[in-house]
């Protein structure tokens, strides 16, 4: 139902939603980013000026990896959420059903604090175990200091201390993979013979392969239109995918020798 954006300052914007469901979707599906830069969004309470809303935290969906099954409970993941930031909610599909390799929790995090990479867990038998965290929809962050909003190329710590990338404690492994499988974009677009890009859905469906056409022709089952189409392709093989030409193995060597003589 549309959305309206009003620029209050150079770094502060007001987004207005005519429909409440659109507003709730933005609140629930965050965090949001623009050109891989995090947007800190908060709902403006009734009677408060937008300029007075505090913008210092963002809710994230975080995946908890390596948690032993004996500690998989709502109470325990709540403690993990409060260790990372402020626990908001747990995924209702965390417990029950088939075994899961990780558990999801919703946590509000302070953007002025570095990301939490892992948490040391002391088991009942006295052994120690690390559980790691991955952040969904995580935008640009620094692999050196763990702060959101800049990369290691613009990190003051890297500049001052000269830390090499091999010693960075953070890395791209902290980004959780998207749930939805990304489809290849190239399969949807094809280059036509005229040199213009067209959608694959606009192209005519491919005909039977040549081996099938030959078998149909031998059995007398090939139709006139298909037969003419095959004859046209044999007569003018334009538009074929690959054309191979036999060349001598000495052509490349001769070309290099001639080039060497010219260089002299």
What value does the mean pLDDT of the chain take? 78
Higher pLDDT residue, 2 or 260?
A: 2
Specify the pLDDT at position 35.
87
Token pair listed for 87: 């626990």
Please check whether residue 44 lies inside any domain of the structure: yes
Please check whether residue 187 lies inside any domain of the structure: no
Q: Are residues 125 and 222 in the same domain?
A: no
Q: Are residues 108 and 143 in the same domain?
A: yes
Q: Are residues 69 and 158 in the same domain?
A: yes
In the predicted model, what is the mean pLDDT of residues 72-80? 92
Q: Three-state DSSP class for 239?
A: coil
Tell me the per-residue pLDDT of 148-204, one tens digit each, with 9 for 90 and over: 999 999 999 998 998 999 999 999 999 998 665 445 544 444 444 555 555 545 545
* Residue 212 belongs to domain spanning: 196-238
Higher pLDDT residue, 207 or 128?
A: 128
Q: How many CB atoms lie within 10 A of CB 142?
A: 22
Tell me the per-residue pLDDT of 243-259, one tens digit each, with 9 for 90 and over: 444 544 444 444 444 44
Q: Three-state DSSP class for 23?
A: helix
Tell me the per-residue pLDDT of 16-56, one tens digit each, with 9 for 90 and over: 999 999 999 988 888 999 888 899 999 999 999 999 999 99
Please check whether residue 210 lies inside any domain of the structure: yes
Residues 109, 119: Cα–Cα separation, whole Å: 16
Q: Are residues 118 and 214 in the same domain?
A: no
């Amino acid at each position: 139902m549309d959305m309206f954006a009003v620029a209050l300052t150079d770094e502060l914007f007001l987004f207005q939603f005519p429909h409440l469901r659109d507003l709730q979707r933005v609140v629930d599906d965050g965090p949001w980013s623009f050109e891989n830069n995090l947007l800190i969004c908060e709902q403006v309470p009734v009677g408060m000026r937008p300029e007075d809303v505090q913008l210092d935290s963002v809710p994230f969906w975080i995946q908890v990896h390596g948690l032993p099954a004996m500690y998989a409970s709502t109470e325990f993941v709540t403690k993990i959420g409060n260790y990372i930031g402020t626990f908001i909610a747990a995924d209702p599909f965390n417990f029950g059903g088939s075994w899961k390799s990780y558990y999801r929790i919703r946590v509000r995090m302070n953007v002025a604090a570095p990301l939490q990479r892992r948490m040391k867990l002391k088991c009942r038998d006295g052994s120690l175990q690390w559980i790691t965290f991955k952040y969904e929809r995580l935008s640009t962050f620094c692999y050196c200091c763990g702060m959101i909003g800049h990369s290691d190329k613009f990190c003051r710590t890297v500049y001052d201390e000269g830390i090499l990338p091999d010693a960075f404690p953070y890395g791209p492994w902290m980004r959780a993979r998207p749930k939805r499988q990304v489809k290849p974009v190239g399969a949807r677009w094809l280059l036509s013979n005229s040199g213009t890009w067209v959608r694959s859905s606009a192209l005519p469906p491919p005909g039977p392969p040549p081996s099938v056409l030959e078998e149909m022709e031998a059995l007398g089952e090939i139709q006139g239109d298909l037969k003419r189409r095959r004859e046209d392709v044999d007569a003018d093989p334009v538009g074929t995918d690959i054309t191979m030409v036999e060349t001598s193995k000495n052509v490349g060597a001769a070309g290099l020798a001639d080039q060497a003589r010219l260089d002299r």
